[in-house]
Structure 1
Amino acid sequence: MTSRNRSARILVTALGGATLLGLTGCGAGVTAAAPTQSADTAVTIENCGRSVVVPEPPSAVVGLHPSQTELLLRLGLADRLVGQAQATVQALPDDVAALAEGIPVLGADTPPNRETLLAAEPDFVYSPTTYEFTAEQGFASLEQLEEAGVAAYVATGGCFDRRMEGTVDDLFVDLENLGAIFDVEQEAAALIEDAEADLAEVDAAVEEVDERLRVAQVYVDGTTLTAIGAGIEYDILRRAGAEAVFTPEDPAFADFFAAEITPEALAAAAPDALVFAATDPAHEAAARAYLTATFPDMPAVQEERLIAISTSDTFPGTLGNISVVHRIAQALYPDAFA
């Protein structure tokens, strides 16, 4: 297995099921195209280069990842959910977990297969990436769902031609679209307002920072190091006020947002802080122990700036995209938030 393929395998597992297929960015930004609505209440959304037509506000909905389930719950749609998937991958936040009780789990740690998903008789499914619609994996494809009369929506940042160029603000496109689809524009607007206020607080805090810290974002799988240098992960660091060590301009990230690196290369970069994604507490502890033991002389280790984040917070179309910006910024510049 080549290092590129090995990196892809790691990131497929840890960062939302993104595949190598079509991950090259088109270089265009994303703006929220206003959903169109006809007199019979049908809504048409442009999503991942296709038109999604929703005849009426959906009443049987499936969230294909906990991040998407959480967003639907926060929009007040608990009574419309007929299924949740990948439910054991990430625990729902305590304040919404009770709302999910009783919602059938269609897939514990993977997306549901086609038969299981269709048996729930959904009229709408919401996914973080297009991976959840990979027919080769046994999942219902977008075409199969369309034939079954099921509207499928992919988080904006999870579209193939957006994965390399995704930004934190992509979430706002999703919230505006979901608000129109479910006729919950006020609820969606309130979430956007709160998120924008959170980002504005970070902007104001880091603006006063005289010296930005050099930050590397990595993923640790045993003793294998993968650097993250593009996509929403890069934008998260940028919004947190970091000077990213790895950037989209680096040749290593020309075609894929992650690249395997050697410990020597990371040591030579000598970052002031390390941000690393973890799937659970055990993974976090193992990654932290590896980084501490391997790089004892690195400024990030000596200054105790090893910042763990949840892999789920980097999934497209999740409120974690916002909260993780605040978390990283506060860890980097605690005095700015005092």
Structure 2
Amino acid sequence: MSINRPVATALAAALCLLTAACGSSSSDDKASDETTEAAASKSGYPVTLDNCGHKETFQKAPSRVVVMNGASVAEVSTLLALGLGDKIVANQQGYGMSEVPGRAAAIKQLPTGNIKLNEAYDIPREAMLGLRPDLVLSVTTYGFDQKNGFATRDQLKQVGANSYVSPQGCDDDPSRMTIADSYRLLRDMGNVFNVSDRAAKLIAASEKNIATVSAKVKVEKKPKVMVLFSNMSMGSNDFSSVLANGIVNDILARSGGANAFADTTKATFADLSKEKVAATDVDAVVVISYNDPDPAAYAKKLLKEFPQWPAAKNNTYVTLSDSMYLGPSNDLAVEKVAKMLHPDAL
């Protein structure tokens, strides 16, 4: 079943903004700007973050949080995982499903602020200021770009609102993203809301789960895995939503696998022809759903289209959603992918 055109277009536009293939670039110097500085008194405040070159100082825990879209659920899922859902006054994120029981429903129940979104499927400046936020979360710096009709970080500061760009969002390029960035997002939000103990427990549990799985699937020859969004077109070729770099590669490595298309580009997404895909040995497929109610149907169709793949001969695929990208649940993706690749080891 295909995603409706507006939703598909929104995701394609938003994800395009996150890729080097769409003109973004990154550097180690800029990445260092995302390091977190936390200075807190016994009460936990003030807390200061150095975020994409902006000093953001929090005198108390935010109580009116706005979560921008950006084709992500990392930010809203992180807040929910930390027990901070009641702080959200408007959320525009949602994948429609989740590996965490109850999370998709919890996200759906959050207030949206009754905002009329702009052409970028996000919150325009005047509507944002009308929400009276004290913290605005954006996936990348694009969410604070005045040229695209958004409130800038300086404009938000003028009305008493802090702002935050998620890890690797300073350069709008998640091609270098790893699971450590998910932990950094948790730590930052833990510090901002004075719940760093909760963040530490979540991180420790995730690290333990991943280490346990990884220890069981250490193999010399790692199966080659194709990772892509279902029913999504983002480029000129038949397969333009194939993930080649970024956090998925970290997840695959810890699951005892490797990305079959990692060498096709340095960008996050590969824009591949049908011939290139057909000529590649694919041992397994991971289909990521973005508001697609039946990603398994897409996976089965894909395997039928390429019967020569080992993945097709063995019917080796798994459908996932939020756990495969930035967010608090990467350990679930590691476990599910590892079970697909190495069923006898787990």
TM-score range, shorter chain: 0.7 to 0.9
Question: Pick from 177, 186, 190: which aligns with 1:179?
Answer: 190
Instruction: Indicate if the aligned counterparts of 1:163 and 1:231 stay in contact, CA closer than 8 A.
Output: yes
Match of 1:6? none
Cα 1:121–1:291, aligned 2, differ >3 Å: closer, same or farther?
same
Equivalent residue number for residue 24 of structure 2: 23
What is the identity, as a one-letter code, of the residue corresponding to 1:26? S
Distance 1:181 1:153 in 2: 10
Distance 2:126 2:169 in 1: 24
- Match of residue 112, structure 2, among 105, 109, 112: 105
Q: Secondary structure at the match of 1:111?
A: coil
Q: Judge conservation of contact 2:47–2:192 (CA < 8 Å) in 1.
A: yes
1:192 to 195, 203, 219: 203
Matches for 1:95-244 after TM superposition, within 5 Å: 95-96=102-103, 103-106=110-113, 110-160=121-171, 163-207=174-218, 209-219=219-229, 221=232, 224-226=238-240, 227-244=242-259
Give TM-score, length-normalised by structure 2. Answer: 0.80
**Quick one: structure 1 residues 142 and 47, their matched pair in 2 at CA, closer, same or farther if it must change by over 3 Å?**
same
- Of 241, 260, 265, 1:245 maps to 260
CA deviations 1:50-89 (Å, max 9, x no partner) are 32222222122223354322221221223322222235x4
Structure 1 residue identity aligned to 2:26: G
Cα deviation code 1:89-136 (max 9, x no counterpart): 435754356766874213588322222222221101223333333434
**Number of matched pairs:** 322
Q: Paired residue for 2:63, among 55, 59, 65? A: 59
Identity in percent: 30
In structure 2, stretches of 5+ residues that fail to align are 1-8
Q: Which residue of 1 aligns with 2:91?
A: 84
List aligned pairs for 1:266-285, cutoff 5 A: 266-282=277-293, 284-285=295-296
Provide closer, same or farther for how the CA distance between residues 12 and 221 of structure 1 changes in structure 2, counting only shifts above 3 A: closer
User: In the alignment, which residue of structure 2 is the partner of 1:44?
Assistant: 48
Q: What's the offset of the Cα at 1:184? A: 0.7
Moved over 6 A (4+): 28-31
Which secondary structure state, in structure 1, belongs to the residue aligned with residue 175 of structure 2?
coil
TM-score (norm 1): 0.82
Which amino acid in the other structure matches residue 251 of structure 2?
A: I
Amino acid at match of 1:268: A
State the match for 1:4 in structure 2: none
SS of 1:140's equivalent in the other structure is: coil
Matched residue SS, 1:217: strand
Tell me which moved more, 280-289 or 113-122.
280-289
CA contact (8 A) 1:19 1:131 kept: no
- Structure 1: segments with no counterpart, 5+ residues: 1-8
**1:5 aligns to what?**
none
